[in-house]
Amino acid sequence: MFTITNHLLTPARQFPLRHGSQAVTPRYIVLHYDAGATLAGSLNHLRNSNLSYHMLIDRDGSSTQCVPFNRKAWHAGRSNYRDISEDVNAHAIGISMANRGAVNKYGDRYWLEYEVGQRIGDPLTADQVVRGYHPNGGSERYWERFPNTQVAACREICRSLIEIYPTIVDVVGHDEIAIGRKVDPGPAFPMASLYDLVPDRGWKERHLYRVNTPGETLNVRRGPGSDTDINGVLQHGQLVYGRSFAYQNGTATKWLSISLDERHVQNGFVHADHLEKV
């Protein structure tokens, strides 16, 4: 059971990191992984960088707070979501989980590598990984599994935050607000298990677009590009929900992640030149 007093979580270890002085009224919780073999190593890296999360959750479910919840942390980088065209940090609480992310297989073991051949930490066994495609595109990979204790702790922290900060309307992944830049928390994390905490997921804001292709249909792509597989077809005049514009080489493109209904599930990407804002 977690409690929040004066924007600090109990029980949680306090490990202050540099952060912005700007006050934050959070609308979103953004989930990350730290891409590290150990939480201690990640905290040491954060202390020597300009990055920070509000919370980090270890594999055993224990939590560490680095920034008060009412202050801006530096976790999302270049990002956009719905009506926020830049700097989701100013509107979000960032939670990172200890997790290697994508790993490479050698024999019957799976290793984190920052560069080919540069193995980091201890290897994983087959029961500690899942195999799958990232929803934003790319090839099939192995990903470190998130332990149930860690997922449960994340859920409870999110639940506590939503109770204390009623302005929070959704829980999203870093890979949903920085598409093409980031892949965390990735396909191994069960995002859908948190959606009941935010039943309408902010869709009362209704960021709607109308397909504008007179006499033609519009292909929905699996990834942000015309060279990716076709996921479906939209009709002229059809309404879709806009989520986030993808990035390429650090610059926002016109490829928009869309949802076809108020469940807010990503159904693919379309080019914004063929849409008009409603």
206-277: CATH topology is: SH3 type barrels. (2.30.30)
Instruction: Read off φ and ψ for residue 8, nearest 5 degrees.
Output: -120, 145
How does pLDDT run across 16-57, given as a tens digit for each residue? 999 988 899 999 999 999 999 999 999 999 999 989 999 999
- Please report the pLDDT score of residue 32 as a whole number: 99
H helices of 13-116, in order, are 39-47
- Please report the pLDDT score of residue 16 as a whole number: 96
Answer for the pair 82, 242: CB distance below 8 angstroms, yes or no: yes
How does pLDDT run across 134-177, given as a tens digit for each residue? 999 999 999 999 999 999 999 999 999 999 999 999 999 999 99
| 22 CB burial (10 A radius; 0-12, 13-18, 19+) | exposed
Instruction: Show Cβ contacts of residue 254 under 8 Å, excluding neighbours closer than 6 positions.
Output: 245, 271, 272, 273
Average pLDDT, the chain: 95
Quick one: DSSP state of residue 201?
T
Rounded to whole angstroms, how far apart are CA atoms 31 and 142?
A: 19
- Please report the pLDDT score of residue 205 as a whole number: 64
Instruction: Show Cβ contacts of residue 49 under 8 Å, excluding neighbours closer than 6 positions.
Output: none
Q: Which residues make up the CATH 3.40.80.10 domain(s) of the chain?
A: 3-100+146-199
Asked whether residue 186 carries a pLDDT value surpassing 80, the answer given is yes
Q: What is the separation of C-alpha 221 from the centre of its chain, rounded to a whole number of angstroms?
A: 20
Asked whether residue 264 carries a pLDDT value surpassing 80, the answer given is no
Asked whether residue 263 carries a pLDDT value surpassing 90, the answer given is no
- Please report the pLDDT score of residue 86 as a whole number: 87
Classify domain 3-100+146-199 by CATH number: 3.40.80.10
Amino acid at 93: I
H helices of the chain, in order, are 39-47, 148-164, 174-177
Per the structure block, which two tokens stand in for 166?
């009623």
How does pLDDT run across 73-125, given as a tens digit for each residue? 999 999 999 989 888 999 999 999 999 999 999 999 999 999 888 999 999 99
- Please report the pLDDT score of residue 148 as a whole number: 98
How does pLDDT run across 223-261, given as a tens digit for each residue? 999 999 999 999 999 999 999 999 999 999 999 999 998
- Upstream peptide bond of 68 is cis (omega within 30 degrees of 0): no
Q: Which residues make up the CATH 2.30.30.40 domain(s) of the chain?
A: 206-277
How does pLDDT run across 194-232, given as a tens digit for each residue? 999 998 887 766 689 999 999 999 999 999 999 999 999
